[in-house]
Structure 1
């Protein structure tokens, strides 16, 4: 292995190690299942590895890989693969390594509600509100316009707000 090849391998390895928790959290929120999320992240990282020269040269490698992740998820969803609902009560943070959302009291209800959204609405809600991306960043990740992100996020949030038990939990400070 040449020096340049080894440097590229080390660079990719460092990228994966530092981004794995965030990618897993996003994938889990998209799929609702830990194993499906792991498969999704691995598939996205396989594609990123093959294109690593382009990815590492991009202005924002994180956005490039996030776009790959969204595209892989969309392809799987379009092919009619059934998505799993959260059966074991795992949270995105337990899957990804932990953060402040781990304190939420009733995440399983939120995860089921999120899993019940259509794919594009779920993607918009996850990218805008969990990943805290701007509309422009979310649009780039989803491959659509910022207006489409706004529309899908608004529809998704409206559907989530229409779930009575979820709203009660949020009103009581249970979902953070």
Structure 2
């Protein structure tokens, strides 16, 4: 187990892993950073075993950490912010950013497992089999969660009618 191998991996893959964690946390950047740091801390001692295929292991750990985070939070007292924590998106030439914001907010309303399936399938571009392996569930579960999740996203996003953009990265 070499520290430099781990450091190289973290340096190269942290931005992509943080984006995945951000989507799994429903758009909460602070929670995503904390969750990714916790996962990487837990992965380091196991690095010698997983260094040949760390991506799938870390994605599964992120998905599980996100699910555990929501389970834990649901048992705690609900905190009520004194101000609106999510200001509305400002329309303008940044339509791609506004669309992305709407999608991230809609993802945040989905159950953790459904959100994890959609993020791994469509954001990380994993196959149904790879998604099932990462989440330790059956391919049928991935298919049903994908179908239900996309249907709910369509329902949630229908009133907003996402405006077309020239940027294809969203």
Q: Same fold, TM exceeding 0.5?
A: yes
1:56 and 2:51 correspond: yes
- Determine if contact 1:86/1:112 at 8 Å carries over to the other structure: no
Supply the distance in 2 between the matched residues of 1:89 and 1:76 (Cα, whole angstroms).
26
> Which residue of structure 1 lines up, in the alignment, with residue 116 of structure 2?
123
The aligned runs of 1:1-176 (5 Å cut-off) are 8-31=2-25, 32-57=27-52, 60-80=53-73, 87=86, 103-163=96-156, 164-166=158-160, 168-169=161-162, 172-174=163-165, 176=170
Q: Aligned residue pairs: how many?
A: 154
Supply the distance in 2 between the matched residues of 1:88 and 1:19 (Cα, whole angstroms).
30
TM-score w.r.t. length of structure 1: 0.78
Give the gaps of 5 or more residues in structure 1. 91-101
| Cα RMSD (Å) | 2.7
Supply the distance in 1 between the matched residues of 2:85 and 2:118 (Cα, whole angstroms).
18
Moved more, 16-25 or 71-80: 71-80
Give the gaps of 5 or more residues in structure 2. 79-83, 90-94
**Offset of 1:80 from its aligned partner?**
2.5
Supply the distance in 1 between the matched residues of 2:45 and 2:113 (Cα, whole angstroms).
26
Moved more, 13-22 or 65-74: 65-74
1:129-148 Cα distance to aligned partner (Å, 9 max, x none): 11111011111111111111
SS in 2 for 1:80: helix
